Structure 1
Amino acid sequence: MSEKVFDRETLLDLTVNIIPLGILVFFIGAFALFPPWGVDPLVSGLQFAIVGVTALLLVILTYYAGKAVSKAENEMEADHE
């Protein structure tokens, strides 16, 4: 049986990164569906690039933070045994 990458406690610890990621995804969708300043390829492309790269970096940061938290929790459990 394969072990989950993140358990429930780790996911609760990562909520501080998941909520801002949801906000970024919301704004990407909102600006794609309802562009408030019209569609200019340069401005819209730059806007989506900035928000998209920020979201991508946050996903990467969240993954590695989750691995570090999970590893630290496993080490603490092993020390108590």
Structure 2
Amino acid sequence: MSERTFDRETLLDLTVNVIPLGILAFFVVAYAVIGSFPSDPLVVVIQMSIILLTGASLAVLTYYSGKAISGAEEEMDEYVPAGYSKEDAETAGVPGESESEPTDDA
């Protein structure tokens, strides 16, 4: 079984960037299909390059932020609070939630 780069939770975190990418894609298609371009081709090249470079930059940023989120989640799984050992972290539950706490009724 191959291990995926992004798990489901990371993909949900990254869906925030899908809407801006969709908007940029819409404008590329809209300007290409129904745009009334000026007679100067330099204006068209600059207009499209601004939109495409912004979209490509957002896609690259999304990828690297996804890798950072995945790395942070992996580090969180291995996190041991100060003052505890790995054995304590493996056997202890959530702090403040124990099944039977000792009482001082002596």
Partner residue in 1 for 2:35: 35
Counting helix residues as a fraction of each chain, which structure ranks higher? 1
Alpha-carbon spacing, 1:49–1:76, altered in 2? closer, same or farther (3 Å): same
Alpha-carbon spacing, 1:75–1:51, altered in 2? closer, same or farther (3 Å): same
Q: How far did residue 37 of structure 1 move? A: 3.8
TM-score scaled by length of structure 1: 0.88
Q: Which segments of 5 or more consecutive residues in structure 1 lack a partner in the other structure?
A: none
Alignment partners' CA distance in 2, 1:28 and 1:79: 45
Partner residue in 2 for 1:75: 75
Deviation above 4 Å: which 4+ runs of structure 1?
none
Alignment partners' CA distance in 1, 2:39 and 2:70: 43
Partner residue in 2 for 1:10: 10
Partner residue in 1 for 2:22: 22
Instruction: From the CA coordinates, give the structure whose radius of gyration is larger.
Output: 2
Alignment partners' CA distance in 2, 1:62 and 1:68: 10
Q: Which segments of 5 or more consecutive residues in structure 2 lack a partner in the other structure?
A: 81-89, 91-106
Alignment partners' CA distance in 1, 2:79 and 2:25: 40
Q: Deviations over 1:16-44 (max 9, x none)?
A: 21210111011101111111345641111
Number of matched residues?
A: 81
Alpha-carbon spacing, 1:40–1:53, altered in 2? closer, same or farther (3 Å): same
TM-score scaled by length of structure 2: 0.69
Aligned-residue CA RMSD in angstroms? 1.7
The answer to which structure, 1 or 2, has the higher relative contact order (CA under 8 A, 6+ apart) is 1
